[in-house]
Structure 1
Amino acid sequence: MFYPQEMSKIELVLPENQIVPVMEALGNSGNFQQIDMSHVSSEYQEGEQIGQNWGAKASTFAALERRLRTLLRKLDIDEGTPNDKTIPPITNERMIYRWIEGFELQVNELILDIESEHKSEEELRSFIRLLQPIKEVDFELDRLQNLDYIFMILGIGPKVGLDRLRTSLSRVPFELLVLDEYDDQAVVLLAGPRQNADVLERAARSAFIIPLRIPEGYHGTPTEMIEAMSVDLEKLEQQIVGQQGEIDQLRKSREHQFRQIFWQVRKSNMIASAINRFGKLRNSYLVVGWMPSEQVEVLRQKLKLISEDILFEAVTMNRNASDSQQIPSSLQNKGLIKAFQSLVTIYGQPQYGEVDPSILLALSFPVLFGAMFGDAGQGLVLTLLGGLLAGKKIKSLRSASDLGVVVMLCGFFATIFGILYGSFFGLEDLIPPLWFRPMDNIMQILMITVTSGIVILASAFSLSIFNTVRHKDWTNLFFSNHGITGFVLFLAIVGLGANIIAPNLGLPTAVFSWLAVIASIALMIAEPVGRLINKQKPILHDNILMFFIQAFFELFEIVIA
C-alpha cells in the first residue's frame, strides 16, 4: 500500500520451438515488463538467418490489424475486449490474409454501391427541389440548351451573389428571375442573347451559381421529370435499404468471428513484436524483463509445464539499491485507494524505491473538494452519479468506474460540508448550518484553507525528503528545492507570512528572515555545489554573471511555486 510492488528481474533461456507458448505465458501473467535484448546475438556468418524473421512477422500482423480495424469500423462493430486470456495466436497468417481480403472485397463493394446510390439519391433530391418552383411550366427543359437565339441558365447559388451578378451584366441585355429561396440559397433562371453566352456563363460563375445539369435519361416538362425522378428515387431508396440489410446481416452473422480474429491478430502482433526484442542465440533465445515478485513462482510453475528445458532465474530487487530508479514500478493499491492511483499516475509514476502517495491523495483530495464545494444538494447529485459510474451499470461507461469512485467520494464529502455550511443547491437559508456559513465568515474559511494547504505541502516535502534519504541522494537531499533546503525556505516564508497576518503570535522574525536568506543562497548555488561534490566538470556552464542571473530567476520561480 505504501510502496510500489516488490519487483524481480526475470531471465529466461529457452529453445526456439518454445517461443510462442512462453510468450503466451508471459503475456497472461498480466504484469511482465520486457527489456529489449535484441542487441544480444551469437556470432554467425553474414547473411545467415537465425530462426524466423519475427520483425517481418510483426510488420505483417500490424498491417493485418490495421485492415481489420478498418473493416470493423465500416461494419460498425466495436473491438470489444477479449473474454478469454487463452485466445490462440495466428499460426497461418496467409490464410488470415486471404480471409480478410475476401471480406474486404465484399464489404467495400457493398459500401461503394451504397455511397454511389446515396450520391445519386442526393442529386435527384436536389434536382427535384430545383424543379419544384417551375413545375407548372409547360415546356420541355431539355430544349433550353438548344434554343437558337436565347441562352438560359437554370441554377442555384447564394442570395448574396445576386447583386454581384446584376452588376457584372449591366452592359449586356439579360433577364434574372428568382424562382425560389430557402436558407441562404436561391433558385434562379438567367436568360440573355445566345451571342452573349460566354459573358453570361462567366458572370454566373463569379456569382457562384451552379448550373442545373439535367441527368441523362430524363426528358420532358418539369412535371414529367419530377414524376420520373420520384419513381427512380423510390427505387434507389429500396436498393439502399436492401444493401444496408446485407451489411446488417453480415455484421450479425460474423460479428463474433470478426472480433475473435481481430484479437487473435492483435495478440499475434504483440507476441511477434515482443519476440523480436529477444536476445537471439544459436539455438535458443534470451528473454529478460521485470515482474512483481509475488507472481514469480506462478510463472515458474507455468514454464515448467511448457518445457523442462527452459532456464529460469529470478532476482528480487532491493528497494534501497543505488540503481532502484532504473527498475520499473507497479502500484498495488486496492479498493477505494486504487481509484486515486490514476490521479497519481497523471503527474508521474512513483519510482521503485519511493513512497506511493496514492493513500495521501485518497485522504486529502475528497475532503478538500468537499470543503471547497460544500453544497449538500449538488453533493448528493455527484454522489449518485459517481455511484452509477462505480457500479458499472452503464455498459458504455464501465471503463470509467475508477473515476466514478472519485466522483462519489467527492460528492459524499461535498454533502457533509454542505450540511456543516447549511447550503443546499445554493440556498443558504434553507437548512441551519451545523458549523458556520462561509459567506458570513470569510476570514475563518480563508485561514482554514491556507492552513490545510500548508499541511499538505509540508507532508509533500516530508515524503520527498524521505524518498531522497532512501535513495541516498545526498546532493538533492540538502540542496534540492524539494529537499531540506527547499523545506527550510518554505517554513521560513510561512513563518514570515504568519507574523505579518498575526503579529501577536510573537514569532521570531529575525530567525525566519535569516533562514530564508540562507536557504535562498543555498538554492542559488545548489547546481555548482552538487557538481563539485560529485566531481563533475565544468562546475559552471556559463560565466559567473550569467550564472547568478539564471539562479536568481530560478529562485524567483521556486518562491512563486
Structure 2
Amino acid sequence: MTVAKMEMLNLVAPIRYIDKISREIVLLENIHMVNALNEINEDNFTLSIAEENIEELVDMCVIKAYREERDYKDISEKINNLMDYLQIEKNIKRKYIEEEYDFETSIGEIEDIYEDIEGVYREKTQYHEELKRIKEFDSHIHQLRQTNANLSILKNLHFFSFKIGILSKENINRLKKNYENISAIVLHIGSNEKGEVYLVISPKDLETETNRTLHSVRFYELDIPKEFLGTPDEIVVNIENKVRENKSHLETINNKLEKLKEEYGAVVERAYSRLMLEEEISRVKNETACTQSYFYLSGWVQSSEKERIKDRFRKYGEKVILMFKGVSEVHKYIIPPTKLKNNRLTRPFEALVKMYGVPSYSEMDPTPFLSITYMLLFGTMFGDVGQGLVFLLAGLYLSKKNKKGLYGGILTRLGISSTIFGFLYGSVFGFEHIIPALLVHPIEHIDFMLMGSVVIGIIMLITSFGYSIVNKLKQRDMKEGLFGRNGLNGLIFYLALLGIVANVALDKEIVPSGLLYVIVLISLVLIVIREPLANLILKKRPLYNEEASSYYIESGFDIFETLLSMMSNTISFIRVGAFALNHVGLFIAFQTMAKIVNNFAGSIIIFLIGNIIIICLEGLIVFIQGLRLEYYELFSKYYMGEGIEFRPVRLADN
C-alpha cells in the first residue's frame, strides 16, 4: 500500500562480459534501465575511489555510447513467419533461455528449414487465394444459372464482346441516365452483398466508348477464368470440381505442415524464445556506455531486490563492480521511477490511478484511498443486490478470460459493493419490497440520501487534505504544506467554514461563531502571505519570486478561487444521492410501463429490458460520475500524478 523504496545501481565490468551481464539483467527482470552515458555526463555515475577501481575511473575519460552491431530484423521476420506458418503459439519458454547457448546455431537451424517450410506455406496460400477467387466468382454469377447464356459462345463472337461486372446501388441511377449514350445491351442478372450484377454485350468497334461510360459509373468488371466458360450448368460443374480439387490440395498441404511442425516445432520455439532474449539484451546494451576495455550500466532497483542482484553477480567476483545509491544521494532533478505495492483488494484500482497519472516517488500512493472511496461511491449510487451480482459475475468472467487485465477485478469489486448496498436499500433487480431494507429505501428518505451524500463528501475531502499535507511535507514544500489552500491552513479554514454552516443550519452555536470567524480571517491572511512567510521561516531570499504587487493581486484572486472550489467540491457530492434516487426512479418508470401493458409476458419482457438498460447505461454513467468525483473533487487537492512508472527490463510474450 506504499511506493517501493528505490536505489540507483551503477555497474562496471570488462567489455568482454557485456553479453553475459546484459543477459543476467534481462533474466533478473528487476532493473529499470537508465542511459548510462547521460548519468556519467551529469556526474551521477560514481565509483568509490579505491585502489582496485583506479583503472575503471581513468578509463571513463574516453567514454562513448555503446552501439549494438547485430541486426535481428531478417532472422526475426523469418522466425515469426515460421511461428505463423506452423501455427505455434508465441510463448517464451524459459527452459530454452536459462541454459547456455549460441544464438548463431539457432540462426543456422532456422536458415536451413525456412525455405522448405515457406515453400509449402506459399503453396497453401496460393490454393487459398484461388479457392477464395472461385467462391467469389460463384457468388457474383450464381444468378446466371437462371438464364441460358453460354459464355463460350459469347467469348467467341467476332463482332461483339461481353463483360460481367458489379455496380454499387448508388451508381445504378447514373447508369440508367446514360443508357442513351451506351451502345450496348445491359442485362441485370442478379444481386449480392456488393451490389447489382450486370451482363454487358457491346459491338467491338464501340467497346472503347462503352468502357468509358462504364468507367464513369464505377463499373467493377469481374475476371472470368477460362475454365468457367460454357453453359450455366457446365460452369456449376466446373466450379464444384475446382473447389473440390483445391480443398483436396489444401488438406494434403495441411497434413504436410503438421508433419513439419512435429519435426521442427521445437527448433522454431527454441529460436523464438532465444530471439526474444537476444532482442532484449540488445536494448540493454544500447543503454550502456563503454570504453575500449570497460562498459558502464545504470538502472533503478527496488531496495528489497538489492541482495538478490548482488547474489546473481557474485559469481563474477571482482570483475564486476556494483555500486548502490539511495534516492537522497543522487541529484535532486533526477526522478526515480515509481513502483506501487498494493494488496489484492486494492491492486486492480491501480489502473484508474494510472489513467490520471503515475504517482511521483515522493507522493503517497492514492490507490488505497481511491479503491475504498470509489467502491463506496459506486455502491451508494448503484445499490442493488441482483444487478450487483450481475456485475460481480461479469467481473469474474473477465478476470478468468484475461488474468493479466485489471478491469475484471475492478468490476468484481464494484459488483460486491453494489450488492452490499442493495441489501442496505432492500433492492433486488429494482424491486424494493422483496427483501427488507437494512438501512433505508432511498425513494422514501430523499433528504437523508442527499444530506448523507454531502456528509460522505465532507469526510472524503477532509481525508484528501490529509493526503495533501503529507505529500507537500514529504516534498519539503512548507509554503503549500502548511499555509496553502490544500495544506494544513486550508484544512483549518475548511473546518471553520463547516462550523459556521453547521451553526447556521442548526440555529445554535456548536462552536462559538466569533472564534470561527477569527480562524477564517487568520486562514485567509495566511493563504495570502504564504510565500513570503514560508521564505522567511526557511531564511530564503528574496521573499517574493515576483514583484510584491503582482503577488498580492494574484493571491487576492486565489482567495475567491479557494472559497468557490471548497463550496463546489462539497456540493458536488449531492450527485451521489441524486443518482441513488435516479436509480430507483428509472425502475419505477419501467414498472409503470409494465402495468400499462397489463400482460404477464409483456411485463416480464419490459422488466428484463429495463434491467438491461439500467445495468448497461446507468452503470456506465455511475462509473463515470464516480471517476469524476475522484479526479476533479479529490485528486485535484492532493495528487499530481507526474511520476515515471517503474518498468524493469524483462521478457514479455506477444
**Which TM-score band (shorter chain)?**
0.7 to 0.9
From 103, 108, 126, the equivalent of 1:92 is 103
2:277 and 2:112 map into 1 onto residues whose CA distance is 22
Residue 450 (structure 1) aligns with = 454
Residue 158 (structure 1) aligns with = 168
Residue 67 (structure 2) aligns with = 55
Residue 341 (structure 2) aligns with = 332
Name the count of aligned residue pairs: 549
SS at match of 1:56: coil
Residue 32 (structure 2) aligns with = 33
Equivalent residues of 1:8, 1:315 under 8 A apart: yes
* 1:258 aligns to 2:268 (yes or no): yes
Residue 409 (structure 1) aligns with = 413
Post-superposition Cα deviations, 1:435-489, rounded to whole Å, max 9, x if no partner, equal: 1111221221222222222212221221221122233222332455543454456
Please report how far the alpha carbon of residue 545 of structure 1 lies from its aligned counterpart in structure 2 after TM superposition.
Answer: 11
Please report how far the alpha carbon of residue 114 of structure 1 lies from its aligned counterpart in structure 2 after TM superposition.
Answer: 3.4
SS at match of 1:326: coil
TM (normalized to structure 2)?
0.70
Post-superposition Cα deviations, 1:63-99, rounded to whole Å, max 9, x if no partner, equal: 6556544553555443335445963476434x44444
From 451, 468, 474, the equivalent of 1:470 is 474
Instruction: Name the stretch that deviates more: 170-179 or 418-427.
Output: 170-179
1:136 and 1:383 map into 2 onto residues whose CA distance is 56
SS at match of 2:295: strand
Aligned in 2, Cα 1:361/1:164: closer, same or farther, shift over 3 Å?
A: closer
Residue 14 (structure 2) aligns with = 15
Residue 388 (structure 2) aligns with = 379
Residue 399 (structure 1) aligns with = 404
Residue 370 (structure 2) aligns with = 361
Residue 130 (structure 2) aligns with = 120
Please report how far the alpha carbon of residue 424 of structure 1 lies from its aligned counterpart in structure 2 after TM superposition.
Answer: 0.8
Aligned in 2, Cα 1:49/1:35: closer, same or farther, shift over 3 Å?
A: closer
2:488 and 2:362 map into 1 onto residues whose CA distance is 19
2:161 and 2:397 map into 1 onto residues whose CA distance is 68
Aligned in 2, Cα 1:525/1:228: closer, same or farther, shift over 3 Å?
A: farther
Aligned in 2, Cα 1:528/1:80: closer, same or farther, shift over 3 Å?
A: farther
Residue 274 (structure 1) aligns with = 284
Counterpart amino acid of residue 203 in structure 1: T
1:511 and 1:85 map into 2 onto residues whose CA distance is 74
Please report how far the alpha carbon of residue 290 of structure 1 lies from its aligned counterpart in structure 2 after TM superposition.
Answer: 3.0
Instruction: Name the stretch that deviates more: 365-374 or 340-349.
Output: 340-349
* 1:72 aligns to 2:77 (yes or no): no
Post-superposition Cα deviations, 1:303-352, rounded to whole Å, max 9, x if no partner, equal: 22332433333345569x99497333433334434444444444344444
2:418 and 2:270 map into 1 onto residues whose CA distance is 45
Post-superposition Cα deviations, 1:183-235, rounded to whole Å, max 9, x if no partner, equal: 46333233455543333222222333333443235544343333223312221
Please report how far the alpha carbon of residue 421 of structure 1 lies from its aligned counterpart in structure 2 after TM superposition.
Answer: 0.6
SS at match of 1:472: coil
Please report how far the alpha carbon of residue 403 of structure 1 lies from its aligned counterpart in structure 2 after TM superposition.
Answer: 4.5
Aligned in 2, Cα 1:159/1:508: closer, same or farther, shift over 3 Å?
A: same
From 417, 440, 444, the equivalent of 1:440 is 444
Equivalent residues of 2:12, 2:321 under 8 A apart: yes
1:217 and 1:385 map into 2 onto residues whose CA distance is 54
TM (normalized to structure 1)?
0.80
Please report how far the alpha carbon of residue 137 of structure 1 lies from its aligned counterpart in structure 2 after TM superposition.
Answer: 5.8
Please report how far the alpha carbon of residue 508 of structure 1 lies from its aligned counterpart in structure 2 after TM superposition.
Answer: 7.1
Instruction: Name the stretch that deviates more: 533-542 or 114-123.
Output: 533-542
Equivalent residues of 1:141, 1:220 under 8 A apart: yes
1:144 and 1:542 map into 2 onto residues whose CA distance is 95
Equivalent residues of 1:42, 1:281 under 8 A apart: no
Please report how far the alpha carbon of residue 375 of structure 1 lies from its aligned counterpart in structure 2 after TM superposition.
Answer: 1.0
Equivalent residues of 1:477, 1:483 under 8 A apart: yes
2:555 and 2:480 map into 1 onto residues whose CA distance is 22
Equivalent residues of 2:66, 2:285 under 8 A apart: yes
Aligned in 2, Cα 1:554/1:133: closer, same or farther, shift over 3 Å?
A: farther
1:35 and 1:17 map into 2 onto residues whose CA distance is 21
Counterpart amino acid of residue 330 in structure 1: K
SS at match of 1:229: helix
2:272 and 2:372 map into 1 onto residues whose CA distance is 42
**Backbone CA RMSD of aligned residues:** 4.4
2:328 and 2:101 map into 1 onto residues whose CA distance is 39
Post-superposition Cα deviations, 1:138-182, rounded to whole Å, max 9, x if no partner, equal: 664234245345454433323443332232122566543222234
Aligned in 2, Cα 1:494/1:37: closer, same or farther, shift over 3 Å?
A: same
Post-superposition Cα deviations, 1:339-388, rounded to whole Å, max 9, x if no partner, equal: 44444444344444443333333443333332222111222333344456
Percent identical among aligned pairs is 21
2:204 and 2:442 map into 1 onto residues whose CA distance is 83
Aligned in 2, Cα 1:81/1:422: closer, same or farther, shift over 3 Å?
A: farther
Aligned in 2, Cα 1:528/1:99: closer, same or farther, shift over 3 Å?
A: farther
In the TM superposition, 1:120-519 aligns within 5 A as: 120-135=130-145, 140-170=150-180, 174-183=184-193, 185-251=195-261, 254-317=264-327, 323=332, 326-387=335-396, 394=400, 396-400=401-405, 403-478=407-482, 480-488=484-492, 490-491=494-495, 494=498
Please report how far the alpha carbon of residue 265 of structure 1 lies from its aligned counterpart in structure 2 after TM superposition.
Answer: 1.9
Equivalent residues of 2:166, 2:194 under 8 A apart: no
1:63 and 1:111 map into 2 onto residues whose CA distance is 18
SS at match of 2:37: coil
Aligned in 2, Cα 1:220/1:441: closer, same or farther, shift over 3 Å?
A: same
Please report how far the alpha carbon of residue 431 of structure 1 lies from its aligned counterpart in structure 2 after TM superposition.
Answer: 1.1
SS at match of 1:142: helix
Counterpart amino acid of residue 342 in structure 2: N
Structure 2 unaligned spans of 5+: 41-55, 569-631, 633-654
Counterpart amino acid of residue 398 in structure 1: K
Aligned in 2, Cα 1:410/1:558: closer, same or farther, shift over 3 Å?
A: same
Counterpart amino acid of residue 347 in structure 1: Y
Aligned in 2, Cα 1:75/1:150: closer, same or farther, shift over 3 Å?
A: same
Residue 5 (structure 1) aligns with = 4
Counterpart amino acid of residue 12 in structure 2: V
Equivalent residues of 2:182, 2:213 under 8 A apart: no
